[in-house]
Structure 1
Amino acid sequence: MLRDEMWEEAARVVRGDVRGLLFLRDDLVRRWAEPHRGYHDLRHLDEVMAALVVLRPAAIDTDTEWASVVLAAWFHDAVYDVESPGDNERLSADLARTTLSRSGIQSEILDATCALVEASAAHDVTERRGPQAAFHDADLWILSAPQDRFDGYCADVRREYSAVPDADYVTGRTAILRPFVERASVYRTDHARLHWEAAARRNLRRELDRLADVG
């Protein structure tokens, strides 16, 4: 499985405690498979990993950068609680720092991984290449997905927040999605701008129209 292969490659680069890293990966899989998750599940993790592979040749220069991006992907939604969405990225970064430290990961990669996880809260990246740009775009690949998959993603997110009344959900979700349309570009890397941008804008406008109809 691709996500396991990428974990193993990152583990070879960081040269941490092999047994400890294996147990850590198993714990992360358990977290990603929690039943309350709709969109933020193992499928999302797999899609982020696949997108990173596509972006790697033109955006990532070193094995160390690659290891930090892969670890960030594994950790970025490891903590996911719909009751306190503003804390998820911070708590996921804290989990990464604590558990990776125990496995002997060098501080350079540890700091880079945690910074990437924390940055996923705002999706506010200016770099056009490098780990920040690649991870930003991979995490947002879903916005450019084929229509059926994008619509499924929207339904999955709504299911995660099924306890939220429609009016409140429309307000909150619109506030999250509209800024992407208002940006000069949804994505940062050249590859994503060329190959994903147009589809993402079509999908976002369609979802914003649907939300407006509900509201």
Structure 2
Amino acid sequence: MSVLIDPARWPAHGTVFSHLVSDESLEELHAFARAMGIAPNAFDGDHYDVPVSMYEELVAAGAEEVSGSELVRRLVKSGLRITAAERSSKLEKILHQRFARLFPNTSELERDPICDALLERWDEDHRHYHDLTHLMSVLKNIEYLERQGEPMGVFPRAVKLAGWFHDAIYRADPVLPPGQDEEDSARLAERVLPELGVPGPEILETARLIRLTFTHDPHDDDHGGKVLSDADLEVLARNPGGYQRYREGVRQDFGKVDDADFVAGRERFLRGMLAQNPIFNTQTGRKRWERPARRNLMSELYPRGGKAQD
């Protein structure tokens, strides 16, 4: 077990609190918290806030005592740390600024209601991976690929707009036909973007790119599709802790799916990704993300050194 606890020194509610984390997995942390009777609402993204009255009991149960700086260092190294910029309130402000930059000739009265509605969708309670953090990640990845000189197609802004809308409607409902969320997200963009003065051809390109995120299989000459697809799949190349957070978030997103069906569907996804050669379509994506992504996918498909079956 690798559950850590730092000294109780954070004042609130008439007492002081410690941070309880795992540098191995959120699954381990949640299991430990349940066993110790810690309320679920004490969880704050990557840690539980626990009162000093529980400190000795938690240590006796196996939590490792570490300093605050050591706890943060190990949490960061694990890839499970959520930075301040990734937390919802801060993210919304940053995302508002990013959205405004796409429409420099529109007023706040025109932009803000649409941006607010989008952010509300991305912040729905049932989302755990496909949330505001994922939105920010995709937008940052698009900008990174653009800075690296990757071509963005005829309508560069359409790639960024597709990033904003690509999971705007996300239900992960097994009753729905495959690709329905992407289709409905594309239709949402087609309805909303005219209100912001986006030209028709650019709207059509945005919607096309959104639909492409169902397959992540752009043609060789589809430069915008390559950038969007790679930006969306970058999570597959995260360090082990970050990849595990992604896996756990996806499982929570598909909470309506029973374990057996989820495992079968996840295996199909893993095999499908590994069958793509390469997974990433841009030169930058192949150079930076291809090898770690394949390593993560193989480790998930064949855990603990298991071998492929013929």
Structures share fold, TM-score greater than 0.5:
yes
The aligned residue for residue 104 of structure 1 is: 197
Higher mean C-alpha deviation, range 137-146 or range 50-59: 50-59
Picking from 100, 110, 129, the partner of 1:39 is 129
Contact conserved, 1:7 with 1:70, CA < 8 A, in 2?
no
Amino acid at match of 2:134: H
Unaligned runs of 5+ in 2: 1-92
Amino acid at match of 1:31: R
Deviations 1:135-182 (CA, angstroms, capped at 9, x unpaired): 010000101111101111001111112232221111111112211111
Distance 2:143 2:208 in 1: 20
| Cα deviation, residue 9, structure 1 | 2.3
Unaligned runs of 5+ in 1: none
- For the aligned residue pairs, the C-alpha RMSD in angstroms reads 2.0
| Cα deviation, residue 208, structure 1 | 1.4
Does 1:194 find its partner at 2:287?
Answer: yes
The aligned residue for residue 137 of structure 1 is: 230
Amino acid at match of 2:165: F
* TM-score normalised by structure 1 residue count: 0.89
Which SS does the other structure have where 2:172 is aligned? Answer: coil
Picking from 114, 139, 147, the partner of 1:49 is 139
Higher relative contact order (CA 8 A, sep 6+): 1
Contact conserved, 1:3 with 1:49, CA < 8 A, in 2?
no
The aligned residue for residue 168 of structure 1 is: 261
Picking from 116, 119, 126, the partner of 1:26 is 116
Distance 2:99 2:291 in 1: 31
Q: Which has the larger radius of gyration?
A: 2
Amino acid at match of 2:140: A
Does 1:4 find its partner at 2:100?
Answer: no
Distance 1:88 1:132 in 2: 18
Distance 1:102 1:5 in 2: 19
Distance 1:61 1:48 in 2: 15
The aligned residue for residue 60 of structure 1 is: 151
Distance 1:16 1:114 in 2: 21
Report runs of 4+ in structure 1 exceeding 6 Å deviation.
none
Which SS does the other structure have where 2:226 is aligned? Answer: helix
Which of the two has greater helix per residue?
Answer: 1
Which SS does the other structure have where 1:124 is aligned? Answer: coil
- Structure 1 residues 61, 201: CA separation in 2 closer, same or farther (over 3 Å shift)? closer
